[in-house]
Structure 1
Amino acid sequence: MKYRKLGKPNFDISEVSLRTRQLGSKWRDPFDEIDVQNTLAASYDTDVNFFDTADIYQDDHSNRYC
């Protein structure tokens, strides 16, 4: 994984991010915790440390898991 420096604190962030808008389900499907765990595990295994999340994604479910 390649990383870049972010801001004055010089955090190393991965060039690849995980967007969590649909984390845990497909559009209009029920939230699936197992799917979330598998997706996050794959991200961690590939050293992704940059996650795009917000409290409005999946009614805050994806935000709570990240």
Structure 2
Amino acid sequence: MKYRQLGSSDIQVSELALGSWLTYAGGVEQEQAKACIHRAFDVGINFFDTANIYGYGAAESLLGEVLQNFPRSSYILATKLYFPMNETDRGLSAAQVSKQLDAFLKRLRTNCRSVPIPSL
């Protein structure tokens, strides 16, 4: 696997990311999805992409379940938000970003808010 430096940080990101839209939101059986994440680690992928809307949090929850067994420093998470999670939760207001970030951290079983954000 080839890696790239993330901006001016010392973080090395795999050139390939494992996405979770069609697979971990219910399109693939849970055991197969878990095996796919493990295989990604086996081949050196350390970058995982998801979004709150993928299965209305299901993709993030599955990633969180599997990734909790790996050291937090061994992978990079990327998520997105904007699309409606329900009738009232949508958009990119500061309040909505904060709310979705808290939900993202809970589903992914991590606390990125305690980790310094590297300057890019």
Name the TM-score class by shorter chain. Answer: 0.7 to 0.9
* 8 Å Cα contact 1:23-1:58 kept in structure 2: no
The alpha-carbon deviation at position 23 of structure 1 amounts to 2.0
Deviation at 1:61, TM superposition (A): 1.1
**Residue of structure 1 equivalent to 2:14:** 14
Q: TM-score, normalised by structure 1?
A: 0.78
Instruction: Please give the secondary structure, in 1, of the residue aligned with 2:61.
Output: helix
Is the 1:13–1:49 contact (alpha carbons within 8 Å) kept by the matching residues of 2? yes
Structure 1: runs of 5 or more not aligned: none
Structure with more contact order per residue of length (Cα contacts < 8 Å, sep ≥ 6): 1
Distance 2:59 2:36 in 1: 11
The alignment-based identity, stated in percent, is 29
Matched, 1:48 2:26: no
Cα deviation digits, residues 1-31 of structure 1 (max 9, x gap): 00000023231000011111012343xxxx6
Tell me, what secondary structure is at the counterpart of 2:22?
coil
| TM-score when normalising by structure 2 | 0.47
Q: Please tell me the root mean square deviation across aligned C-alpha atoms, in Å.
A: 1.6
Deviations 1:13-58 (A, max 9, x none): 00011111012343xxxx6211211110111111101111111112
Q: Is the radius of gyration larger for structure 1 or structure 2? A: 2
Query: In structure 2, what is the equivalent of residue 5 of structure 1?
Result: 5
Count of residues in Structure 1 that have an aligned counterpart in Structure 2: 62
Runs of 4 or more, structure 1, over 4 Å off, are none
Name the amino acid aligned to 2:4.
Answer: R
